[in-house]
Amino acid sequence: MRKNRLGHSDLVVSEIGFGCMSLVKGKESFNQEMIQKAYEAGVNFFDTADLYQFGWNEEMVGSAVKDFRKYIILATKVGNRWTEGKEGWDWDPSKTHIKQAVKDSLHRLQTDYIDLYQLHGGTIEDRMDETIAAFDELMDEGVIRYYGISSIRPNVIRYYAEHSRIVSVMMQYSILDRRPEEEMLDYLHDKNISVIARGPVAKGWLSERALTRDDEDSYLNYSGKEIKDIVKQLQERFNSIPVNQIALKYALAHPAVAAVIPGASSIRQLTANIDASHVSPLTKEDVLWIQERTKADVYNAHRS
């Protein structure tokens, strides 16, 4: 498994990570098997969040990785506060919440440090300097090794890139969502801040399964029919390489991207994701060919 350094940190992550949000409550043995198989296949980057299943996901991940904890990069997220018995959650990037939430995450994860602690969102209205101060204090105390943000908002990303010690930005990026290419990928690469690409297979649309879906379904600004045409073209050009693996390689083609974190709901999907690590990187010609057949877009919202 190829590994990449995360920004200016000393964290070295497998290019194919494991998005733990796909773990299913009530299937603990199966979840344990998935995580164990991923680790044995060379995956060392596991990403969760305190919000996923309101803390249960962290508990599951912590239990599953405890025997090899020191050999992996464990990432989680903070910023969404929920109250027992209350439906939904509230956005809270305050220092008070972050410094309490990290203690709760450490307990659920059965660890005494977090490798990568990420702000789970962010708006331009936040008191961002207060949030940055909280992360800096946790880093200086050794509670977290490094921090990043998980955001698609260009104005928020730029503020953190200019005013904090973030080493990564997690953002949605795929063949069907090329918005980060317009202004974020080169910018972050120049700042030595890595991108972690979530949604690289676009909720399963970038796979052979797309051909069985309804033409009237949609994903972002693509119709099901448009996506099916793209998938067929990918099949023709890349022949024996599965479409989902081409999708992962596309997201990894830009030097800013250190890792992709596809989810998996079966051993078959997990294996297919991991097998992408054995596929040669896309050439510049391959990338250009894909871009000529898909839509370049920009983030029109989330502006100052």
The per-residue pLDDT for 19 is 92
Tokens of 88: 């939904």
pLDDT tens digits for range 168-219: 999 999 999 999 998 999 999 999 999 999 999 999 999 988 898 888 899 9
Number of H helices, E strands in the chain: 11, 14
The whole-number pLDDT of residue 302 equals 66
- What per-residue confidence (pLDDT) applies to 90? 86
- Annotated catalytic residue 52: yes
pTM for this structure?
0.94
Res 223: pLDDT: 94
The angle formed by the CA atoms of residues 25, 274 and 169, to the nearest 5 degrees, is: 75
Residue type, 231: V
* Spatial distance between the Cα atoms of 192 and 4, rounded to a whole number of angstroms: 12
**Pick the catalytic residue: 52, 117, 160, 250?**
52
Q: What is the pLDDT of residue 304?
A: 59
- The residues of the chain scoring below 70 in pLDDT are 302-304
Report the candidate in 239, 260, 205 with the shortest Cα–Cα distance to residue 18: 260
Backbone angles phi, psi at 175, to 5 degrees: -55, -35
Q: Which domains does the chain possess? A: 3-292 (3.20.20.100)
Q: Residue 284 burial (CB < 10 Å; 0-12/13-18/19+)? A: exposed
SS3 113: coil
Q: Is residue 120 within 8 Å of residue 87, measured between CB atoms?
A: no
**Mapping DSSP to helix (H, G, I), strand (E, B) and coil, where does residue 223 land?**
strand
